[in-house]
Amino acid sequence: MIPLGGVGEVGKNMTVVEYGNDLILLDCGGKFPEEEQRGIDLIIPDVTYVKDRLRQFRAILLTHGHEDHIGALPYIVPQLKDRAPIPIYGTPLALGFVERKLLEAHLDKYVELRPVQSGETVQFGELSAEFVHVTHSIPDACAIAVHSPVGTIVDTGDFKFDPTPVMGGPTDEPRLRRLGERGVLALFSDTVRVETAGSTPSEKVVQDTIDEVVAKAQGQVVIATFASNISRIHMALHAAQKNRRKVAVAGRSLEQSARVALELGYLDPPDGLLVDLDEVLRLPKERRIIVSTGSQGEASAALARIAAAEHPKIRVGHGDVIIVSASPVPGNEETVSHTIDNLFRRGCQVVYGALHSGVHVSGHAGRDELERMIQLLKPAYTVPIHGEYRHMALYRELSVKNGIRADHVLLPEIGGVLEFSADGATQRGRVPSGNILVDRLGDRGDPQVVLRDSTNLTEQGVVVVTLVVNRESGALIAGPDLTAKGLKSEHAIGALREAEQDLKRMLDRRKKGEPQYGYVVQRTKETVGRALYRRLRTRPMILPVVTEI
């Protein structure tokens, strides 16, 4: 077993499981870069190890449909396409999201999507994989038990033991217990919430909170959440029905998720309850619920535009209620606060985590639930994955407390080989692995994608674009300045000058009051990247550096 991502970090989950001539991939996740990694759109795992073993490679298995488990597929599939059609297994919702992604990137021809229901087992040579239903913050999530001649390993995926999930049934404890009784060699466990004592509250808490807030609301209700959060749309529909409102969805990514969920029957609202945005906006305010993107304060998403009174259609003010149904991802705290401040400035009532804990709950198991998983499966070994280093270290303590021998808790590293045999487990060497940076121009199916790893990062050159802007007015104080390294063309100087002109025009066209920082970073990158490609046919790494003072 080799993790190629998702250990010592949150995001880009991917694990290789290999026995003899059979190799499968569990999950294929991407990670959104931190704020200071300005030029980068997504970080994905290095799959060199798999590319070198295409003959043994059998399939990709997905635990659930979140970006950190499926988001790398559009970039990994082309790398494995000599093995096409690549079989991808997962529950229908996860595969629905995957299909949309791959269609958009024109990669659907390289894969064969094979939906499974939890409880099903699929054979891959000497390995077989069983999908076991777990609860998470997306419906139809699974743990995957991989049976091999040396024993069974269980990858929990992301899970919690939610006794009253809002969509689907509770975690399949009977099946987990039976696996434990038959003998589990190793448990690869989600650990991200090991810091938190007790159990994570049920999704039911969020439903109740939303019902309560909607029942009291006088004006419009806007519920902001993650793009893939089907269950919040479900909750909005529930609250709307009880309160004679209708629901619309705002934000392209959320609309797409909703469409997938409707097509597959995960959402099945009565006729006329889920309508399009224009229709909801023709209703009186007290009959509207809008589910929107932007719960992380992203500058270009619906909520930030609503808060800045810059949304093309949605206006909010006194009497309206905004529910921010998400926790800020580490690094996003300030942009979220800023968005909330703006909503208060508009006169809205804002219901958010710091004020009302019921407005969002985690999808991950608290410490008691992590213990329960160990007790159900009684593994010989535990391997903490899906967490930062501190989570892994704390999970080790928890394992020992639950009877696992200290030397049977294995702290993996990315690319580190964990070998299980009749004699026990050993950590044996490291395969090629690491971060691949995805750089793409435009966000709508533009095929111009460049993958960069540490060896070719700056092969096509680096262009640093520096802007200093006034934080309040957005006025340019200095720049734009383009500094290039390694542009190997006689036309480089002219191309840079053109790019600078394009950029100046773009910056002049900005509307006053436009959401600033993230928007400017993204648009700068696009504008300069396009100009240089047009002239030089090369894709240097563009690092937009926007300093607000």
**Which residue ranges make up the site for a copy of itself (CB under 8 A)?**
34-40, 195-196, 330-331, 333-334, 337, 340-341, 344-345, 350, 354-355, 388-390, 393-394, 437, 454, 457-458, 462, 464, 466, 468, 470, 477-479, 481, 483, 485-486, 517, 543, 545, 547-549
CB 291, min distance to a copy of itself, A = 22
Using the minimum distance from each CB to a copy of itself, give the nearer residue, 422 or 549: 549
**345 contacts: CB under 8 Å, gap ≥ 6:** none
Using the minimum distance from each CB to a copy of itself, give the nearer residue, 9 or 172: 9
CB 200, min distance to a copy of itself, A = 14
Distance CA 367, CA 389 (A): 16
CB 410, min distance to a copy of itself, A = 16
Residue 360 contacts residue 326 (beta carbons within 8 Å) = yes
Q: Tokens 């920082």, residue?
A: 517
CB 321, min distance to a copy of itself, A = 13
The pair of three-digit structure tokens given for residue 7, joined into one six-digit string: 């250990």
CB 414, min distance to a copy of itself, A = 11
Distance CA 75, CA 203 (A): 33
Using the minimum distance from each CB to a copy of itself, give the nearer residue, 67 or 439: 439
Using the minimum distance from each CB to a copy of itself, give the nearer residue, 215 or 478: 478
Using the minimum distance from each CB to a copy of itself, give the nearer residue, 241 or 489: 489
DSSP state of 227: T
Task: Show the beta-strand stretches assigned E in 177-235.
Answer: 186-190, 221-224
Using the minimum distance from each CB to a copy of itself, give the nearer residue, 311 or 356: 356
Distance CA 221, CA 324 (A): 11
The pair of three-digit structure tokens given for residue 342, joined into one six-digit string: 């703006």
CB 394, min distance to a copy of itself, A = 8
CB 389, min distance to a copy of itself, A = 4
Distance CA 419, CA 417 (A): 6
Distance CA 103, CA 535 (A): 30
Using the minimum distance from each CB to a copy of itself, give the nearer residue, 181 or 334: 334
Using the minimum distance from each CB to a copy of itself, give the nearer residue, 26 or 503: 503
368: left (phi over 0), alpha (psi -120 to 50) or beta: alpha
CB 191, min distance to a copy of itself, A = 12
CB 302, min distance to a copy of itself, A = 19
Cα 58 to Cα 25, 55, 288, distances in angstroms = 8, 8, 48
Residue 50 contacts residue 14 (beta carbons within 8 Å) = no
Using the minimum distance from each CB to a copy of itself, give the nearer residue, 34 or 181: 34
CB 195, min distance to a copy of itself, A = 4
Distance CA 155, CA 183 (A): 15
Q: What is the CA radius of gyration of the chain?
A: 24
Q: Which residues pair with 462 in a beta bridge?
A: 485, 541
Q: Compute CA 65 distance to the chain's CA centroid, rounded to the nearest angstrom.
A: 9
CB 544, min distance to a copy of itself, A = 10
Q: Is the bond leading into 284 cis (omega within 30 degrees of zero)?
A: no
Q: Tokens 């909801």, residue?
A: 280
Using the minimum distance from each CB to a copy of itself, give the nearer residue, 152 or 435: 435
Closest CA to 70 of 114, 100, 50: 100
- DSSP SS3 for 114: strand
Residue 86 contacts residue 80 (beta carbons within 8 Å) = yes
Distance CA 364, CA 372 (A): 13
Using the minimum distance from each CB to a copy of itself, give the nearer residue, 14 or 394: 394
DSSP state of 270: P
Closest CA to 41 of 78, 74, 16, 4: 74
Q: Which residues pair with 153 in a beta bridge?
A: 146, 186
CB 295, min distance to a copy of itself, A = 16
Using the minimum distance from each CB to a copy of itself, give the nearer residue, 35 or 446: 35
Task: Indicate the pairing of strand 121-124 with strand 476-485.
Answer: unpaired
Distance CA 47, CA 410 (A): 22
Using the minimum distance from each CB to a copy of itself, give the nearer residue, 268 or 333: 333
CB 218, min distance to a copy of itself, A = 15
